[in-house]
Amino acid sequence: MNTKITVRLIFSIALGFLSSVVHSQNSTSKPNVLLIMVDDMNDWVGAFGGHPQAITPNMDQLAARSIVFKNASCSAALCNPSRTSMLTGYQPFTTGVYGNIEVFRKMKGFENTITLPQYFAKNGYKTAASGKIFHNPRGTAKEPKEGSDPGSFQQENKVGLGVPYPKERFVHGLNFKRAGVKGSKTRSFDWGPVETTDEETNDWKSADYAAKFLQEKHEKPFFLACGIFRPHLPLYAPKKYFDLFDEENIELPTVLKNDLQDVGKIGAKWTGKGLHAEILRNNKWKSAVRGYLASLAFADACVGHLLDNLEKSKYKENTIIVLMGDHGWHLGEKEHWSKQTLWEESAKTPLIIFDPSKGEKGVSLRTVSLIDIYPTLIDLCGLPKKNDLDGNSFENLIANPKGKWSHSALTTKGEGNYTLRDENYRYILYADGFEELYDHKVDPMEWKNIASNSKNKSILERFRKELKSLVKK
């Protein structure tokens, strides 16, 4: 062996040794991830200021030490397409998953999709889920259910959701179906207190499973996801949370009369005008708002149980916390209840990120989206880039919430209906070509559609161009 070869050989052995040392250090020092997803939670969380009477001390406390994204959007204002998009990193129009019944793995070209938890597992993480993360948490490998993806998480807690139904299910709220009143499309449109303890509820059990996971010893870094089902319908919560709110003094959302006059035909058709009229006719608006606030306060307590256990655990200093809803929720705004519109109340979702290594806190007004979570978590955890994702990493905003961000947030509903949100405006394009434009600087409730005002032509042009570039991708 000549000297040159010997030197090269020694050098490469030394390099190999060094890189293995570096590698093992990396894998042990990687941060853990705790992802908390609260179903149908709108910006009524205290820290987001959506309702003055919200009682969410645990989420507010987390917000106070984190980056609070006040202009975050979902990819779709419905459980399955929103969650599928966040967990695959692809927009609804990329996979074709627009509704609650499609399964992304049955879509051509997406059979072998590597989901967010699978990507973490591939890169040395242990992954676990409790409660609703994929749309249907009850699917098993033997019996996959619509909207489930058995195997995405290495370990999954198959549980019930929310709060067990009261014995006399429909005694507390309004059961439109039973009352024979037209207008409700969902049989779950009900609310009321349930005589039960926190510990007996499914949501508490979901949080408790994750809490116990945090007390265990884990050899690898972990990616732990916990889904809380309330404030998803029906709005049943333990009685003590209803007792926090006095129905008489409940503040209603501010609603403009005839707000729907200047919206698109498609948008107006999506609203539940009939349901809203029935709620008014039955004088139940305050009662329903109280049901939502009580359910949200209960969800917050479940989140608190989990976060308290993280605080008590040895993972406290090395765990990134991501807390989000899956989309927003209307409670009468634009004569609509629930989700599935392209307006702010549906498209906006709370998003809080705490990264102990950055130690930053504050509010970010950048218009990020849940589609950006996948690439962002890759960067925050130092995993190899995944270049086929639709979203953009906003790692820079975790270090500096006022940092650079040049993307509008895109939300899709069905084929050909889109909305873009930047820090000043919301733009909507329906499949029939109708456009809406709202100026959030002066119109936070999106009352006045200014798309037809010739003054705004250049703003419209900018959004049209951006939307084209995103949808064509």
Q: Write out the catalytic residue numbers.
A: 79, 135
Name the segment binding Ca ion (CB under 5 A); options: 17-25, 105-113, 320-328, 343-351. 320-328
User: Considering all CA atoms of the chain, what is the largest pairwise distance in Å, rounded to the nearest integer?
Assistant: 95
Q: Tell the smallest beta-carbon distance from residue 427 to Ca ion (Å).
A: 15
Which residue stretch of 18-26, 75-83, 237-245, 293-301 sits at the interface with Ca ion (rule: CB under 5 A)?
Answer: 75-83
Is the CB of residue 344 less than 8 Å from the CB of residue 71? no
Among 190, 326, 335, 355, binds Ca ion (CB under 5 A): 326
Q: Which stretch binds Ca ion (CB under 5 A): 4-12, 176-184, 324-332, 349-357?
A: 324-332
Stretch that binds Ca ion, among 31-39, 116-124, 213-221, 435-443 (CB under 5 A): 31-39
Shortest distance (Å) from residue 79 CB to Ca ion: 4
**Which residues have C-beta within 8 Å of that of residue 39, sequence separation ≥ 6?**
79, 132, 227, 228, 229, 230, 231, 232, 325, 326
Min CB(41)–Ca ion separation in Å: 8
**Which residues, at least 6 apart from 319, have a Cβ–Cβ distance to it below 8 Å?**
31, 32, 33, 34, 310, 356
Cβ distance to Ca ion smaller for residue 214 or 296: 296
- Bridge partners (DSSP) of residue 156 are 129
- Is the CB of 76 or the CB of 398 nearer to Ca ion? 76
- Strand intervals (E) in 83-159: 126-130, 155-157
Shortest Å distance, C-beta 40 to Ca ion:
4
Residue span binding Ca ion (CB under 5 A) among the ranges 72-80, 148-156, 158-166, 393-401: 72-80
Residue 161 or 380: the one with the smaller Cβ distance to Ca ion is 161
**CB closer to Ca ion, 161 vs 275:** 161
Closest separation in Å from C-beta 108 to Ca ion: 26
User: What is the pattern of x (binds Ca ion, CB under 5 A) and - over residues 444-463?
Assistant: ---x----------------
406-431 as b/e: b if 16+ CB within 10 A = ebbbbbbbbeebbbbbbeebbbbbbe
Q: Label the pairing between strands 235-238 and 191-194.
A: parallel
Which position among 40, 344, 372, 395 is part of the footprint of Ca ion (CB under 5 A)? 40
Give the position of tokens 């605080």.
Answer: 311
Instruction: Indicate the pairing of strand 67-69 with strand 191-194.
Output: unpaired
Nearer to Ca ion, 191 or 315 (CB): 191
Least distance CB 446 / Ca ion (angstroms)? 7
Draw the binding track, 182-221, toward Ca ion (x: CB under 5 A; -: no contact).
----------------------------------------
Question: Which of 79, 133, 161, 437 is the binder for Ca ion (CB under 5 A)?
Answer: 79
For Ca ion (CB under 5 A), the number of binding residues is 7
Query: Token pair 């692809």 is at which residue?
Result: 90
Angstrom CA distances, 281 to 175, 332, 415, stand at: 14, 13, 35
- Name the residue with the smallest CB distance to Ca ion: 79
Q: How far is the CB of 37 from Ca ion (least distance, A)?
A: 9
The full length of the chain comes to 473
- For residue 185, the SS3 value is coil
Q: How many C-beta atoms surround the C-beta of residue 260 within 10 A?
A: 15
Question: Which is closer to Ca ion, CB of 79 or CB of 397?
Answer: 79
Q: Which stretch binds Ca ion (CB under 5 A): 156-164, 423-431, 441-449, 455-463?
A: 441-449
- Residue 79 or 301: the one with the smaller Cβ distance to Ca ion is 79
Angle between helices 285-311 and 273-281 (to 10 degrees): 110
Please state, in angstroms and rounded to a whole number, the distance separating the CA atoms of residues 86 and 324. 11
Q: How far is 171 from 178, CA to CA, in rounded Å? A: 11
Site for Ca ion in 216-275 (CB under 5 A): 259, 262
Q: How many CA atoms lie within 13 A of 298 on its CB side?
A: 37
Least gap, CB of 438 to Ca ion (angstroms): 9
Looking from the CA of 225 toward its CB, the CA atoms found within 13 Å total 27
Collapse the DSSP code of 125 into the 3-class scheme (helix H, G, I; strand E, B; otherwise coil) and give the result: coil
* Site track 343-382 with Ca ion (rule: CB under 5 A), x = hit: ----------------------------------------
Of 86 and 121, the one with the shorter C-beta distance to Ca ion is 86
Contact pick of 30, 36, 39, 299 for Ca ion (by CB under 5 A): 39
Contact call for residues 47 and 60 (beta carbons, < 8 A): yes
395 binds Ca ion, rule: CB under 5 A: no
**Smaller CB separation from Ca ion, 315 or 430:** 430
Tell me how far apart the alpha carbons of residues 93 and 471 are, in angstroms, rounded to a whole number: 7
**Closest approach of Ca ion to the CB of residue 74, in Å:** 9
Residues in touch with Ca ion (CB under 5 A)? 39-40, 79, 259, 262, 326, 447
